[in-house]
Structure formats: C-alpha cells, structure tokens
Structure 1
C-alpha cells in the first residue's frame, strides 16, 4: 500500500510540484494505461485521454460523476460491493470489468484499483489503472461458448494427437462408449475395437485420412460393457501452417437403434411381399402385378381370388395415405377386413360400405385409404368395379386404344355414412385392364404409357421398370387380361 501522502498527492497533478520526475511519471502512465482517480466517495476527479477515448465521454462529462456512468449492468451488485469492501480497507483490488461506452457498445478492462491512504490509514482517494482487454475477453467468451456447445452436442467428439493418443472427448462420446474421460485420456481408440473389421478396413481409413484429410463411414465398436454398437464416424486430419498433421478429430453418432429399426422395416417389407398373391396364367385369364414400395415397406396392397368353377376373378387394390410402419399396420387391418368381406357373390358397394364403417376405428386423425374393388366374370364377359378414392384405371382394348375408365367414390376411413357406386362394363376377349395406385397414375396424368394390345407381359415389364426408378410414392399395379373363354392365348 502507498502511505506517503505527500508523494501520492503529487500524482493528482494539482501543480504543487513541478518536478520533472513526477511529470515524466504522469506521461508514462497516460501513455501506457487508462487512468482514473476518484475521491473516497467514488466521485471522479481525474481521467486521462485514454479513458475518454475508450468510454467516448469527455473529461467534463466524467469528472464529478461516479463510474456508474459506464456501468454495463453485466455484473451483479455483489461484484461491486465486494470490490468496495476491499478497497475501503486499503486493499488493492484486481479484476476484469465490463463497461458500456457512450454509444452503448460494450468493452472489457483489466483493472487495478489502488487505495491512497492518509496518515490515519484511511483511503482518501483511489487511483485505477486499466487495460483494454475487449478482444481477449470476447475470444475467451467465444471459446467458453464453443466448449459448452462441444460438451453438450449429441454427437460424440474425440481429439487425438498424430499418434492416435486421445487428448480430449466430450460427454456424448463417453455416453456412447461407456468410458469416463479419465479412462479414455491418454489411451488409443483401439480400446473400442470390435474385431468385426479386418486390417484392410482400417488400412483404407488411414489411407483416406492421410491422402484426402478425411474419412466418413460406418464402423462397429465395442462398448465398455462388452456389447457391440454401430456408429457413423467422420474423421478429419487437422494440419498446421506447414501442412503437418497435428491432430485427428472424430465425430460419431451411435446408429445401432436406427440400424435395428432399418432391419425391422426391411423384414416387414419382405413379410408384406410374402402375403401378395401369385400371378395367374390359365386358359381364361392372365393376371400379373407390380409392387414397388418407395422405401422398403408399402402403404399399397392388393389381393385377388380366382374361382375356376365360376370363372370369376374378385380382388381389390388399396393405397394407404402415408408411408412407413404406420401405413403398413393400417394396411394389415384393411387386408383382414377385405379378406373377411370380399367374396364372389357379395355386392361390391356392400363390400366397401362394410369396410369403410369397420375401418373407422383403425385410422388415426388425418389418415385414410383409397381403394378399388373389382370382379371379372369371364363367362359373362363383364368387369364390375366400385371405387373409394382410386377412382380411375386404364383399359386397353383390342385395337390398342387406352381408355381411362373413371368412377367417383369417397375415401375409406373419413366419414361413416357415405355412398359408393358400382359399375359394370362389357369386355371383349383380349382386352386388358391396368389398375394403378397413385405412384403410377400420377405419372400417367401427363403422358399415358405406350401399351400394346398384343404384348401384355411386356406392358407389365415396362411398369416394373418404371417402379425401379426411385419413385417418390409407393407404386402398385395389377394387370388383367381375359383370354377367349376356353382357349389358351399364344
């Protein structure tokens, strides 16, 4: 503490002493620091030019006021009360303070406040020396924020040195691996090795890292408790200004559950296919189909039943509005309802009415289904159909002309009391019908397909090829062609 009042009083520059040494000291202070002097009540009695430049206030605007004029509101009241408690005891106080300039901009200063004591050992004024640390402090705040983001990311992050020694990991990485930071730091990621990948796999990883600076892929690792998990991993080589690798950065996500779900979805899709009816090729009719889910499982389904004795083919085509497992489950419900309701004798309007009423309990709000049910009687040469949202299909006559048959009908599962209509058309031997869900029909709204009346199987193959071209919707088609009764078509 400074106790020589006479010498310190000279620093208030009241012109009591014209010693060159003291003026040199003032010059040095003004050149190197932001200086302010207050009385024992905190009233400013002196500020230097640097203080004025940084705060954007003139000395006239500052002298006679307290430092509250530059208070930014960042620090709690206890911050300043603790500071005053210290300096009032004659203790030197040091700390970083955020202030606010006249234009409202914020700045940080590293501050040292020195109490000047009288003969009674009580401070009679305070002199503060400050340095502008705004850039440094903003960088610290940015780094602190970055570290918080780093520690709270969902993805696991690992940083190693060029030899692979682990230098840092975040919380997510510890959660994924089961190891604590203490257990991981200083180790090599090899402790996670699952032994499911051969050496050539790791060779390619390191080759890409060194030659291209990055590698991204899926890798199996072993959790601390022994179970295997699949993760998506992105590795990046960090280089210095001399292009030398100084660190490796890894960002990983545990995708084990996603992989399990993907496998379940694929299995569900395979199961759906096993429930589809086989093609029919006999002396009366030729029936084939195309089934192209947009993504493993389909909201589309179809079925048909051939009664050889009666010469009648009954069936349906449906399209659940939506995709994925929910649509697949609703699909299964409707399939059961059609199986229970549709037969060769029941009126098709009655079939749709019963299914619509029964399905109301199985559709979530905002979901519904479109369907078309049909009956082909080869002996009577009639094709009867009723529509519920799938309100049109293609008919190819023996001249090769495509006719778009239309029949209105409400969707299933929206309203309970609705009216469906049944329609019957007379057909000629050799005519074909192509019943299509929206995945196909939306394509043909603009340009009808180039079907040939003589090559039914080629027409179906064309639809099959279209269905493999990555459509945005499930695409399903039933193709039906009637032979002349009792004759085999060659």
Structure 2
C-alpha cells in the first residue's frame, strides 16, 4: 500500500518501508496522539476491522473504539507515561457494527516530530471461545470419572480437582463382581494442557484394555507403557500406578511407574509405602516391579497423585483415619492452595 500521504509524506526511504508492518501477525494501528486520527493500519488491521486502504484514511480512533473519548484519551495518556508500553483490554467495533473484545498493547512515540499512539491489537473473541470449549472439555472429563462404589466388601471415596479446567491427573477403577476383583489406576501426566488431558484419556483407555489381559500387573504396566509411547514426544512422560484388589484372597497387588507411593491406614495409623518404577513414556522396553500386600478387614488404602500427596503434612498424624484423611483431602483441594492437578482414591476394607 502507498504510505506517501499525511505523516509519511517526505519521510526518508527507511521510514517509508511501512509495508514491513504487514508481516506482523497482529493488527497494528498508528494514531495521531493529538487529534486521534488513524494514520496507518496494516493489512491485518484492515482485515480485522473490515476497511479498505482508502477508507481508513478518513477514520479516527473513536470510529473503532466502543468507548467514550474520555476513556480513550485516558488510555492514550497512560501509554505516554509507561515508557515500556501499556496493555489494556477494551471493546472495538468493526465496519459492520460487530463489537468484539480486544487486548491493546500500546506505546507512545514520535515519528518525524509527530506524537503517535502505536497500538498492537489482539482479538480476544477467539480466546473466549477457546476458553468455553476448554471448560466444556473439563466438564466432560469430570463426568467420565467413575462414581464412588460401596458394597459389602469395600467402600470407595474419591477426590478430583483440575488446576485449570482440564486435568493431567485422572483415575479409574473397575469392579468385577463375579471374580471379586477391583482394578484401579492413578494417572499423573506432565503438564496441565489440553494435550495432557488427551494423554490421560489414552492411558485410561489402555488401562481398560490391559485389565482384560491374562498377565501379571507389572506386565500390564509394561504393556501400557509400550502402547503409549507414540503419544509422548519431546521429553513428555506420565506417572502411573496400577493396583488390583483380590477379595477372594484378600491380596493387593500393585505396580508403580512414576507414582511411587501409596498409604495404608492401620490401627496404628497411616503408613506410607514406597515402591520403585520409572515414568511411562521414557523407555519403550521398561520393566516394572510388582508388589503385594495381604489386607485385613478395617484397613484402608489411599492412592494419591503428587498434587495432593505433597500437600498432606509429613509425617502424617497417627490419629488420622480413612474418613478424616478424606475430609482433609477435600479441604486441601477447596482451599485454593493446591497449585497442581490433584486426584485421590481411597478404599476402605469392610
């Protein structure tokens, strides 16, 4: 576009290379600081506001700003006092009358002696839609969690709290009444992104496939690790803990891959059990250990991801029982102090 009019007339060759501004991915405006006249709009801005190159030369700042001149002037003055730039949100108007929310990164400068309000505009409408979709994804993720179970053999109580809408932490459990087997998994994927949430779903799917295999629990974990490898790239990994309660033999078996702890609650109080095992997604041929424990009536077990486990004060109070720890866990999650995704599954043996 031609930049030979107004402020740009008579400029040196370097200053006339304003076509370079069309390489910027955001909309850019240059506005006369004194009278608010729009001096320049790059191609991104023309597309965003729906004006032609000829039309923008007739526009003033209040033609695109859905705010009073007083508010507009206040923001311009603030940009002048902030040498590093001033960022604010406001509403703007397109040529067709559509009002949309924007973030303005503004700076005051002089071009050939003319005071200029330079503004980079980022459309927040798309961000808002993305936020709504992520919130919906988080609700779906939550609803897919299994409901707490209770029968003559055991009680299950769970807690769950994403750090930000969707969670990289997840759990699942399946009870087979005929064989009296309770299978469970705790998942803690690195990060809090949508990608992490998708990876938890993949691990949950693989867990449901693994429990149908007639192999040991540590071999199930190794199989899950091998199957999930294509979905973890660039140093990503996941912590996983598999457990299986056999209520015919009163035996708990387990295998750890990055979540290397669980808690047993006995009459003497809580005991933290540590078990080795490398994170999933690192070594395709990783071999995992298997542990076992013979449980009795009245004992209970807590399987927690790091976001919750690390918030419980250590050493644990010996007066804590299953229900008090469950309440403590809910209190921690509701306090707003937890800075990570957090999940927990508690199982009380009747």
TM-score bracket, normalised by the shorter chain, equals 0.7 to 0.9
Q: CA deviation at 1:316?
A: 0.7
Q: CA deviation at 1:283?
A: 3.5
Residue 280 of structure 1: SS of its match in structure 2? coil
When residues 192 and 424 of structure 1 are mapped into structure 2, their CA distance, relative to the original with a 3 A threshold, is same
Q: Deviations over 1:298-332 (max 9, x none)?
A: 22221001234444321111122233122222222
Q: Select 2:254's aligned residue among 370, 385, 410.
A: 385
Matched residue, 1:479: 346
Note if contact 1:431-1:453 (Cα within 8 Å) is conserved in structure 2: no
- Separation of aligned partners in 2, 1:451 and 1:184: 73
1:156 partnered with 2:28 = yes
Q: Deviations over 1:126-151 (max 9, x none)?
A: xxxxxxxxxxxxxx99x959x89988
Matched residue, 2:112: none
Q: Select 1:264's aligned residue among 115, 126, 133.
A: 133
- Separation of aligned partners in 1, 2:213 and 2:169: 23
1:410 partnered with 2:275 = no
Q: CA RMSD in A?
A: 3.9
Q: CA deviation at 1:425?
A: 0.9
When residues 158 and 287 of structure 1 are mapped into structure 2, their CA distance, relative to the original with a 3 A threshold, is farther
1:293 partnered with 2:159 = no
Q: Select 2:209's aligned residue among 340, 348, 351.
A: 340
Q: Select 2:56's aligned residue among 184, 190, 206.
A: 184
Matched residue, 1:168: 39
1:447 partnered with 2:314 = yes
When residues 184 and 208 of structure 1 are mapped into structure 2, their CA distance, relative to the original with a 3 A threshold, is closer
| TM-score under structure 1 length normalisation | 0.56
- Separation of aligned partners in 1, 2:91 and 2:157: 43
1:331 partnered with 2:197 = no
- Separation of aligned partners in 2, 1:480 and 1:205: 62
Q: CA deviation at 1:182?
A: 4.0
Matched residue, 2:103: 232
The 5 Å alignment of 1:418-457 reads 418-444=286-312, 447-450=314-317, 452-454=319-321, 456-457=322-323
- Separation of aligned partners in 1, 2:117 and 2:105: 10
Matched residue, 1:127: none
Matched residue, 2:144: 275
1:376 partnered with 2:242 = no
Matched residue, 1:73: none
Matched residue, 2:4: none
Task: Structure 1: state its 5+ residue gaps.
Answer: 1-139, 195-201, 239-245, 484-490
- Separation of aligned partners in 1, 2:154 and 2:349: 4
Q: CA deviation at 1:254?
A: 1.7
- Separation of aligned partners in 1, 2:288 and 2:50: 60
When residues 252 and 449 of structure 1 are mapped into structure 2, their CA distance, relative to the original with a 3 A threshold, is farther
Note if contact 2:30-2:118 (Cα within 8 Å) is conserved in structure 1: yes
Higher relative contact order (CA 8 A, sep 6+): 2
1:223 partnered with 2:128 = no
1:465 partnered with 2:331 = yes
Flag the structure with larger Rg. 1
1:399 partnered with 2:279 = no
Q: CA deviation at 1:279?
A: 1.4
Matched residue, 2:74: 209
Matched residue, 1:122: none
- Separation of aligned partners in 2, 1:173 and 1:451: 64
- Separation of aligned partners in 2, 1:327 and 1:294: 12
When residues 167 and 387 of structure 1 are mapped into structure 2, their CA distance, relative to the original with a 3 A threshold, is closer
Matched residue, 1:79: none
